[in-house]
Amino acid sequence: MRVHVLLVVAMSATLAFGQEQDFSKVELKVTHVAGTVYMLEATGAGNIAASVGDDGIVIVDDQYAPLAEKIRAALKSVSDKPVRFVINTHWHGDHTGGNLPFSTTSTIIAQENVRRRLQTGGAAGNGASVHFDAPASPKDALPIITFEHDVSVHLNGEDVRALHFPHGHTDGDSIIFFPKSGVVHMGDDFVTYGFPFIDIESGGSARGMIAAIENVLPKLPPDVKVIPGHGPVSNLDDVRRFVTMLKETNAAVEAALKQGKSLDQMKQAKVLDRWKKWSGDFISTDAFLETLYNDQTGHKGDFIKHN
Ligand SMILES: [Zn+2]
């Protein structure tokens, strides 16, 4: 189990922006989550949520362009209806890479910062050892409907609502609610691979991620099914454990800053040692420490080429 988890995480790291990978070998798994909602999972790609019913299909995120035919085939196995809408949770390529192939038949919707970042391309990273560069997306891959704060898509008796939270995983994150089915897709504001990647270079913030999750928690029913950006379907307790870790680690770095410690001194003092079980191949304890430090100091650090 552990080996499998590490492998997935390592692949997410290299795949976050669609670098080389043989997509022909990737298998797509479809699971019924609850009500109208299904989840589509593929190794190294962001999770897709699909609300399926008589009115058609709305999907949340679309993984990578080379997987589009597999996504369509997987959806065909549960419904003949067309994918009418795609909602992007944020701009990263492992969540928006399928926009181009889906744009021919579906309307793509996202928060306005998603469109802006896809349009220009740019840097993503924690301001230190984790860094990616994404090229500008072709015009047809851009969302054609954008919103500032929230938007709803009314399909299948479901009021699918995308709600924007500024400065979490990125500055364009939306969390997507399926209230009738009791399901939420958290995008990468909640992941299960350990310490999360927080894209400081795209306006992300650990404190913003905490605020987003704390805002969302009271909106959710106790038995809600939580679709993480990456990882298996989770529950409220999983999200609570995650946000508790974020708050505790954030406070530990804040305290070390008050003591006047530099980033190197914090690494040497192992200020996040208590939480090291969250360390993964993608985001190690040191990489997460850099993230929290850069978030709190507004310092992006020196660019260190990673991998
Ligand atoms: Zn992401």
pLDDT of residue 154: 98
- Averaged pLDDT, 151-167: 97
pLDDT of residue 117: 97
Q: 118 CA distance to ligand 1 centroid (A)?
A: 13
Mean pLDDT of the chain: 92
Q: 259 CA distance to ligand 1 centroid (A)?
A: 32
8 Å CB contact between 87 and 160: yes
Q: 289 CA distance to ligand 1 centroid (A)?
A: 18
Task: Indicate yes or no: pTM above 0.75.
Answer: yes
Pairing state between β 145-147 and 107-111: parallel
Q: 30 CA distance to ligand 1 centroid (A)?
A: 21
pLDDT in tens, 210-248: 999 999 999 999 999 999 999 999 999 999 999 999 999
Q: 173 CA distance to ligand 1 centroid (A)?
A: 9
**pLDDT of residue 12 exceeding 80:** no
Of 258, 256, 295, 294, whose CA–CA distance to 272 is shortest? 256
pLDDT of residue 20: 62
Of 144, 143, 98, 101, whose CA–CA distance to 118 is shortest? 143
Question: CA 216, CA 186: separation in Å to the nearest integer?
Answer: 9
CB atoms within 10 A of CB 52: 22
User: Which residues share a beta bridge with 161?
Assistant: 152, 177
Both tokens of 99, joined, read: 């926009």
Q: 191 CA distance to ligand 1 centroid (A)?
A: 10
Both tokens of 291, joined, read: 């993230």
**pLDDT of residue 120 exceeding 70:** yes
Q: 185 CA distance to ligand 1 centroid (A)?
A: 13
pLDDT of residue 19: 54
pLDDT in tens, 171-186: 999 999 999 999 999 9
Q: 90 CA distance to ligand 1 centroid (A)?
A: 7
Q: 57 CA distance to ligand 1 centroid (A)?
A: 23
- Least confident range of 27-31, 205-209, 260-264, 296-300: 296-300
Which value, to the nearest 10 degrees, does the dihedral of the CA atoms of residues 19, 22, 24, 27 take?
-80
pLDDT in tens, 262-301: 999 999 999 999 999 999 999 999 999 999 999 999 875 4
Q: 69 CA distance to ligand 1 centroid (A)?
A: 22
Q: 195 CA distance to ligand 1 centroid (A)?
A: 13
- Averaged pLDDT, 185-201: 97
- Averaged pLDDT, 129-146: 96
The rounded Cα 197 to chain-centroid distance in angstroms is 9
Q: 159 CA distance to ligand 1 centroid (A)?
A: 25
Measured in residues, the chain has a length of: 307
Q: 61 CA distance to ligand 1 centroid (A)?
A: 11
Q: 54 CA distance to ligand 1 centroid (A)?
A: 31
Question: CA 228, CA 162: separation in Å to the nearest integer?
Answer: 15
Query: Degrees (nearest 5) of the Cα angle 300, 301, 305?
Result: 110
